[in-house]
Chains A and B, each alone.
Chain A
C-alpha cells in the first residue's frame, strides 16, 4: 500500500502506529516512510504536540474542577460544571523557576559552600512548588494526605503512583514507599508527618522512616526537630518521638548527624549502631534495631552472570552445580546467524541440540541452558515471605517453514538445599512437590522482532538457591536422529531481579 496516496489515510495509519496497533510489517513500512518523508514526520510531530497539549489542558481542567468542588462542598454548594482555565502549572512554573534561579545566585553569593553538605543538594529549587519531587511507588493500606499545614484548604489524599510536590504530608495509616527523584527511597510507616523539600531533602516531623540511597553519589538530607541527618551512601532509620527526641539507626554505611541545639561538632554514626538526640542536644548511644523500622523494597540485580550471552561466554555441556555457570544441552554463542542479529550487545545464544551431542539429535524435545543462583545472602528477607524472582528473556527464530519449531520457555525453580543436594533430590524424588514456575512463549516467524517473555516466582520462605533455565522446544517436529534439531532459535538479554518487597517495621 502506498501510504503517501492519501493524507487522511496516512493520518490514520500514524494514529495506529502511535496506538501500537499495527502488525510488524505495517509498522516497518510506516517507520521507513517516517525516515524518508518529511511530510509524514510533520504529521507525527503535530500529533505528538496535540497529545501533550490535550493532556495538559485536560489535567488543568480536572485540577480546577477538583479544587472548586472541594471549596463548594465546604460551602455546601452543589457541584457545578466549570469552564477550563489556563493550566496552573504553566503560570507558576516559569515564575517559580525564575525565583529559583535568583535564589541560586543569592545563595552562592551569600553563603560559603561546605564540602559535601546541603549546598550540594538542589533544594535551591524549593521555590518551584509545581515540580514533583517524589513518587509513591508502593502503598499498603495507606492513607497519605497533604497536611493542612501545607496551606491547602482541605486534605488531599494520594494513592500508589501519585507524584508528590513540595509540601507537608501526613501518613494517617498504613505504609508507603516514596521514591525521590534524586535517587533515594524513603519507607514511611504510620503515623508519621513529613515535609518534602526537594528531590534530595525532607523533614521528618514525627514518626518512623527508613532512608535508602541507591548509590554512593546520592546525598540526602533528612531534617529532624533536633538537627539534620546527612547520609553517606547508606541505609538508615530515623524515629522522631512525640517529644521531638530523635533516634538514628544506621544499617549500612555511615551518617553524619548535625545537632542544632548544641555546639557539638558533627557526630558520625557507623553501621549497626544508633544514637538518640534529645531536644536539649544530649546525644547518647542506644541499641540498634533494624527490624523496628520499615523496610523499603529492594531490587538486587547482577546475580545471574553472563546473561547477555556475549562472545567468550562459557557454556558447559554437562550437569554443573557451581553458582554462576551456564550448563545444559549443546548451545552456542553467535554474533549474527542467518541474518538474525543480537537483541543487545555483540552476541546471542543459539539453541543447537536437545542433548549433549551436537552431531546427533536426541530423543528429548527441549534444548535447555541453566544457571544456579545463590540466594543465601538474602535469606532473612526471603524468610519473611518478601522475596520474588523475576526473570525476563528475549527470544527469536528464523522464518523457517511449516516444520519449524516455535516454542520457548523460561523455567524457575527454587530449592532449600545446595545445588549438589538439589540435583540428587531431583533424581531420587522426581515427583516431590517443588516450588517452580514456567512461562511459555510461542514465537512469531519474524526474525526482526525479539519477543519478550517474563517469569515470576514468589519465593518460598525456605528458598536458598534458584535454578534459572531457558528452553527451546521441538513443539512442531521432534527430530530424532537427524543432524539438525533447530532451524535457528535464539535467546538474548536475559535479565534477573531478586525483588524484596517492602514491609512495615516492628517498632510501634
Chain B
C-alpha cells in the first residue's frame, strides 16, 4: 500500500497490528486502563469521541463492505464506539484512533457475519486495506460529504428514493428489487448506477459551493 500522505509514520504500514494502541489490565483494580506514556500525550475521551463521530459514516461504510447490511454496519460502528469509550485502548493521535476504528470495525463485522452464519462476500483483505487507507487519508472535505449527501437525498423523487430504499434499507438484492418493481435486472443496475452518479455530482457541487462560500 502506498504511504498515506500526512499520516504519522506509524500509520503507514498496511500491517494494522503494528499500530501503537495498547491495553493492559491493572493488577490493582481489574479495571481496564491505559499504560501512561511518559513522552507522548494521549488523547482525551472528548478527543476520541470527536474523531469517531467525524468519521462515523466512513467507518460504517467500511463495515458495510463486509456485512452488506446497513443496520449491521451501524451496529458495528456503535460497538467500535463502545470499545473506544470503555478505555480498553489509548491513543496518541487522531490517526491512531481512526486506524484502530477501521481495524476494530472490520473485526466486528467479521464477527457479525459469523454470528449470523452468513457467507462472507467482502472484498479481499488487500482491497479493504487500500480503501481504509484512503478513507483515513481523506481530508476535511470528506468529513462533510455525508452531510451533503443527506441533503441531496432529500431532493430525489419518490420513485428514485424508493429504489434506493429497497436496495439499501430493506437489503434486497438487485434481482429481488427487479422482481418487485417488475423491471429487468439490467435496467435496475442502470437506474441505480445513474442515481449513484447523480448523488455524487450533487454532493461534489454542494461541497464546492460550501468551500467557495467559506473562501
Residues in A lying within 8 Å of B, measured CB to CB: 7-8, 11-12, 15-16, 18-21, 31, 34-35, 38, 41-42, 44-59, 62, 84, 86, 89-90, 93-94, 97-98, 100-101, 104-105, 113-117, 119-120, 122, 124-125, 128, 130-132, 163, 181, 199, 452
Partner of B169 from the list A45, A59, A93, A120 (CB cut-off 8 Å) is A59
Interface of B is mostly: helix
- Residues of A contacting B164 in the complex (Cβ-Cβ under 8 angstroms): 54, 58
Question: Looking at the complex, which of B10-18, B68-76, B206-214 is the stretch in contact with chain A?
Answer: B68-76
- Determine whether B134 belongs to the interface, using a CB cutoff of 8 Å to chain A: yes
Given the known A-B contacts A54-B169, A132-B75, are A11 and B85 also in contact in the complex, defined by CB atoms under 8 Å?
A: no
From residue A163, how far is it (CB to closest CB) to chain B in Å? Answer: 6
10 sampled A-B residue pairs with Cβ under 8 A? A31-B127, A35-B127, A52-B61, A54-B70, A58-B168, A59-B74, A97-B81, A122-B82, A125-B82, A131-B81
Interface of A is mostly: helix
Is there an interface contact between B127 and A53, defined as CB atoms closer than 8 Å?
A: no
| Nearest chain A CB to B131 CB, angstrom units | 6
Instruction: Known A12-B190, A21-B175, A55-B168; judge A45-B82 contact (CB<8 A).
Output: no
Contacts of A59 in B (CB 8 A): 70-71, 74, 169
CB interface residues, B 132-154, toward A, < 8 Å:
134-135, 145-146, 149-150, 153-154
Closest CB-CB distance, B89 to chain A, in whole Å? 13
Supposing A11-B196, A48-B65, A49-B149 touch, asked if A98 and B126 sit within 8 A by C-beta, the answer is no
Bound complex: CA A452 to CA B118 (Å):
12
Give B150 Cβ to nearest chain A Cβ, in Å: 6
Listed from nearest, the 7 A-B pairs whose CB atoms lie closest are A55-B70, A58-B169, A101-B45, A48-B61, A11-B193, A122-B86, A113-B29
A30's nearest neighbour on chain B, judged by CB, is B123
CB neighbours of B123 from chain A (8 A): 31, 34, 44
Of residues 76 to 90 in B, which have CB atoms within 8 Å of A's CB atoms? Answer: 78-79, 81-82, 85-87
- Closest Cβ neighbor of B192 among chain A residues: A15
A16-B189, A125-B86 given; A51·B168 CB < 8 A: yes
Contact B73 A119 (CB under 8 A): no
B200 in contact with A46 (CB, 8 Å): yes
Q: How far apart sit A34 and B126, CA to CA, in the bound complex (Å)?
A: 9
Which residue of the partner chain, among B64, B85, B86, contacts A48 with CB atoms under 8 Å?
B64
Given the interface pairs A45-B135, A57-B150, A120-B32, the reply to whether A15 lies near B61 with Cβ below 8 Å is no
Whether B85 lies near A199 (C-beta < 8 A) is no
Shortest Cβ gap from B20 to chain A (Å): 22
**Bound: A117/B28 CA distance, A:** 12
B70 near A12: Cβ-Cβ < 8 Å: no
Q: Tell me whether A56 and B70 are in contact (CB under 8 A).
A: yes
Q: Are the CB atoms of A44 and B131 closer together than 8 Å?
A: yes
Complex contacts, B64 vs chain A, CB 8 Å: 48, 51-52, 55
Say whether B153 contacts A53, CB under 8 Å: yes
Q: Which residues of B contact A (CB under 8 A)?
A: 28-32, 45-46, 49, 53, 56-58, 60-62, 64-65, 68, 70-71, 73-75, 78-79, 81-82, 85-87, 119, 121, 123-124, 126-127, 130-131, 134-135, 145-146, 149-150, 153-154, 164-165, 168-169, 173-175, 189-190, 192-194, 196-197, 199-200
* Chain B residues positioned under 8 Å from A94 (CB to CB): 49, 53
Cβ contact within 8 Å between B134 and A41: yes
Closest to A137 in B: B115
Known contacts A44-B131, A119-B29, A125-B82: does B124 contact A51 (CB below 8 Å)?
Answer: no
Q: Is there an interface contact between A52 and B79, defined as CB atoms closer than 8 Å?
A: no
A41 touches which of B56, B131, B146, B149 (Cβ 8 Å): B131
Q: Which residue of B lies closest to A48 (CB)?
A: B61
CB distance from A267 to the nearest CB of B (A): 20
Given known A45-B61, A55-B168, contact A119–B31 (CB-CB < 8 A): yes
State in angstroms the CA–CA spacing of A163 and B78 once bound together: 12
Q: Given A12-B190, A55-B168: A115 and B131 within 8 A (CB)?
A: no
Given the interface pairs A49-B145, A94-B53, the reply to whether A104 lies near B131 with Cβ below 8 Å is no
Q: How far is the CA of A52 from the CA of B69 in the complex (A)?
A: 8
Bound CA span A130–B29, Å: 29
Set of chain A residues within 8 Å of B189, measured between Cβ atoms: 12, 15-16
| B31 and A50 contact, CB distance less than 8 A | no
Chain A residues with CB under 8 A of B192: 15
Check A93–B127 contact: CB distance below 8 A: no
User: Is the CB–CB distance between A57 and B153 below 8 Å?
Assistant: yes
Report the nearest B residue to A165, measured CB to CB: B78
In angstroms, how far is the closest chain A Cβ from the Cβ of B169?
A: 4
Residues of chain B with a CB closer than 8 A to A90's CB: 56
Are A120 and B190 in contact, CB atoms less than 8 angstroms apart?
no
Shortest CB distance A112–B (Å): 9
* Contact partners of A51 in chain B: CB under 8 A: 61, 64, 70, 168
- Identify the interface centre among A34, A55, A116: most chain B CB within 10 Å of its CB: A55
> Whole-angstrom distance between the alpha carbons of A38 and B159 in the complex?
32
Q: Which one of A47, A55, A124 contacts B73 once the chains associate, using CB atoms below 8 Å? A: A55
Contact assessment for B131 and A125 in the assembled complex, using a CB-CB cutoff below 8 Å: no
Q: Which residue of chain A is the closest to B26 with respect to CB atoms? A: A113
* Contacting residues, chain B, for A93 (C-beta < 8 A): 53, 78, 81
Output the nearest chain A residue to B135 by Cβ-Cβ distance: A45
- Partner of B78 from A18, A35, A131 at Cβ < 8 Å: A131
Q: Is the CB of A47 within 8 A of B196?
A: yes
The answer to whether B85 touches A101, judged by C-beta atoms less than 8 angstroms apart, is yes
Bound CA span A50–B153, Å: 10
Question: Contacts of B200 on A, CB cut-off 8 Å?
Answer: 46, 50
Q: Note all chain B residues with C-beta closer than 8 A to A199.
A: 82
Determine the distance from Cα of A314 to Cα of B31 in the docked complex, in whole angstroms: 45
A117 vs B168: C-alpha distance when bound (angstroms) = 42
Q: What residues of B have a CB within 8 angstroms of the CB of A101 in the complex?
A: 45-46, 49, 85
Q: In the complex, what residues of A have CB within 8 A of residue B62's CB? A: 48
A62 proximity list for chain B (CB < 8 A): 169
User: Complex: how many Å from CA A52 to CA B81?
Assistant: 17
In the bound complex, do residue A53 and residue B165 qualify as a contact, i.e. CB atoms below 8 Å apart?
no
Q: Are A104 and B149 neighbours in the complex by a CB distance under 8 Å?
A: no
The answer to whether A125 touches B85 (Cβ under 8 A) is yes
A97: chain B residues within 8 A (beta carbon): 49, 53, 81, 85
User: B75–A120 contact, CB under 8 A?
Assistant: no
A49 pairs with B169, CB closer than 8 A? no
- The answer to whether B145 touches A55 (Cβ under 8 A) is no
| Most B Cβ at <10 Å: residue of A48, A58, A90, A132 | A48
Contact call A20/B61, Cβ cutoff below 8 A: no
Cα of A93 to Cα of B52 in the assembled complex, Å:
11
Of the candidates A31, A100, A114, A130, the one whose C-beta lies within 8 Å of that of B85 is A100
